[in-house]
């Protein structure tokens, strides 16, 4: 039986961590709940996924 190896590489943009920290800070300062769907959509756009086969 043949064996196939797949590799998955996920990279994020440099601004993701500061963005998440800013969201947490504003939520804490205002006492409001952040919109998780909007945050997830924004962070998803910053992800670069690369798949390869060896």
Instruction: Establish if 12 belongs to a structural domain.
Output: yes
Domain of 26?
Answer: 6-53
Instruction: Establish if 1 belongs to a structural domain.
Output: no
Q: How many Å apart are CA 26 and CA 32, to the nearest integer?
A: 8
Q: Residue 54: pLDDT above 90?
A: no
pLDDT, tens digit, 9 for 90 and up, residues 8-37:
999 999 999 999 999 999 999 999 999 999
Instruction: Establish if 32 belongs to a structural domain.
Output: yes
CA dihedral (9, 11, 17, 19) in degrees, to 10, reads -130
Q: How many Å apart are CA 34 and CA 29, to the nearest integer?
A: 12
Please give the residue that has the higher pLDDT: either 46 or 54: 46
Evaluate whether 5 touches 54 at the Cβ level (below 8 Å): yes
Instruction: Establish if 43 belongs to a structural domain.
Output: yes
pLDDT of 2: 83
Q: Which CA distances in Å does 21 have to 5, 6, 7, 9? A: 36, 33, 30, 24
pLDDT of 30: 97
pLDDT band, very low/low/confident/very high, at 39 (cuts 50, 70, 90): very high
pLDDT of 1: 77
Instruction: Establish if 18 belongs to a structural domain.
Output: yes
Count up the domains in the chain and report the number.
Answer: 1
Instruction: Establish if 27 belongs to a structural domain.
Output: yes
């Amino acid at each position: 039986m043949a064996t196939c190896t797949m590799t998955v590489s996920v990279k994020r943009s440099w601004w993701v961590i500061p963005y998440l920290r800013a969201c947490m800070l504003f939520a804490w300062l205002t006492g409001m709940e952040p919109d998780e769907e909007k945050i997830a959509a924004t962070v998803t756009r910053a992800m670069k996924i690369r798949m390869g086969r060896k």
